[in-house]
Amino acid sequence: MFLTFANKLLRFALGLKRVVYDTQSMPLKNKLYAARMVYLLETAQHDKLAQQYQKTKSSFPGLANYYLAHSLSLKAQYEAAIDHLQVHLDLATTNTEAAYLACELYYNTQQRPKAWALLEKIVQETCRLKTWLIMAQLVQDKSDFERWLSNLQQAQAQGKAPQQHANLRQYYIQAASRAGEYEQAINRAIENITDPLPSPIKKLKYLKKARFTPKQAAIVLQDLKTALDQASIEFFLVSGTLLGAVREGQLLAHDKDLDIGIWQTTTSVQLIQALGKTGKFKLNKSRSPFTIKIQHINGIPVDIFYHIKTPDTYYHEVLKCTWHNAPFTLAELEFLGDTYLVPDPPERYLAENYGEDWRQPKKEFDSGFETPNIRVNNKGEMIVHLINQLYRNPNPKTQSHYLEQLQQLGLDQVRLEKIKNKLEKKQ
């Protein structure tokens, strides 16, 4: 009950924050109009929003086009969204949220040069740190990383970006990793442990947890099922979502996202079009072509894993690792008042993923490297992941295990000792 209330409170707060960002320096009537349009977006009432647009595009031309662009983006009509968003940008060049949306749309339509150019313009106009995160997500190679770093150094010299900030360090790690510059990423990740920067104010724990609740996640799963069933796209529950369904008969309360599998015969275009018809899912950036990341309008993220069939194994993967399972068929499972497909037998799949003791709850389980069926694809990526885990979850019970894995992956003794010494001082 409390988490449900907290979730509603968080969504209200985020919606209010969104309105504030969208209508800075605007009169009250604009803010009220924005609040109405945000409500229609967050409840997926796209037809009503389109009607509001037609009625108000002359009196609120900038905002009307801005929110229609949001609506079209959720419906996966990216090119049309860009057209309407450009109208808004031509009228309100200082709306950074609109610029961020434009970058997402450029990314989704393979127009990265336009996204780069827009972000490089934004960093001259605003000091928001979020800009550096979005720019880091555009990095694909060493030249991109050097471009990101050059922009940052220039902004710092002009006083438009802080010299030191915990978030900026994380964005640096992300940009370096995306470029394959793992030595730089690893060194910065180690600095989080050995030379931590003051963290920004954190959200209250109960509000943070309210982003994922079984009740809200169940809504997402049902919306996902409706969309994929209507498009005749076969999907099945995997990972933590399958574990909750089989072991608990419900979604895991301590989970962070939903996990589903699809076969490699479904194209990403087919999947995105199916989800776009609901108007309830946003496409997020994914570094792996075998994983599609989306987010429901209620904030719950979903990882969709392509499962690849070979004669001896079925596997799915992310950039740093691959998970292998014995070939399986699919069977129906009654879950949350509906019928879902799951690997058959689900017990074998779960044992392969979580170990023979999968029936025993493990809240601190890290599927990124603790699963028995994992194979490391990229050592640099995995090393960065493990160091980040040591930084974010400094649990003495798991530290030795993480350090042992880092040694096996080839992290040199000098840096290992540096990490060990700092962790020991913290205990």
Q: Over the stretch 3-46, which tens digit does the pLDDT of each residue have?
A: 454 555 455 555 666 776 677 777 889 999 999 999 999 999 99
The reply to whether 213-362 shares the fold of 2-194 is no
Walk along the chain (427 residues) and give the pLDDT tens digit of each residue.
Answer: 444 545 554 555 556 667 766 777 778 899 999 999 999 999 999 999 999 999 999 999 999 999 999 999 999 999 999 999 999 999 876 689 999 999 999 999 999 999 999 999 999 988 899 999 999 999 999 999 999 999 999 999 999 999 999 999 999 999 999 999 999 999 999 999 999 998 654 444 434 444 789 999 999 999 999 999 999 999 999 999 999 999 999 999 989 999 999 999 999 999 999 999 999 999 999 999 999 999 999 999 999 999 999 999 999 999 999 999 999 999 999 999 999 999 999 999 999 999 999 999 887 788 877 889 999 999 999 999 999 999 987 677 788 889 999 999 999 999 999 999 998 887 6
What number does CATH give the domain 2-194?
A: 1.25.40.10
Q: Where are the domains of the chain?
A: 2-194, 213-362
Name the residue among 90, 21, 26, 81 with its Cα closest to residue 50.
Answer: 81
Q: Name the one residue in this structure whose structure tokens are 């990526």.
A: 381
Cα gap 72→274, rounded to integer Å: 14
Model confidence pLDDT, tens digit, residues 283-308: 999 999 999 999 999 999 999 999 99
Phi, psi at residue 222, to the nearest 5°?
-65, -40
Which CATH number among 3.30.460.40, 3.30.70.270, 1.10.3720.10, 3.20.20.150 corresponds to the domain 213-362? 3.30.460.40
Alpha-carbon distances, residue 160 vs 151, 153, 157, 163, 307 (angstroms): 11, 10, 8, 9, 45
Burial of 397: CB neighbours in 10 Å, binned 0-12, 13-18, 19+: exposed
The string of DSSP codes covering 275-342 is: HHTTT-EEEEP-S-TTEEEEEETTS-EEEEEEEEE-SS-EEEE-SSEEEEE---EEEEEEETTEEEEE
Cβ proximity of 188 and 176 under 8 Å: yes
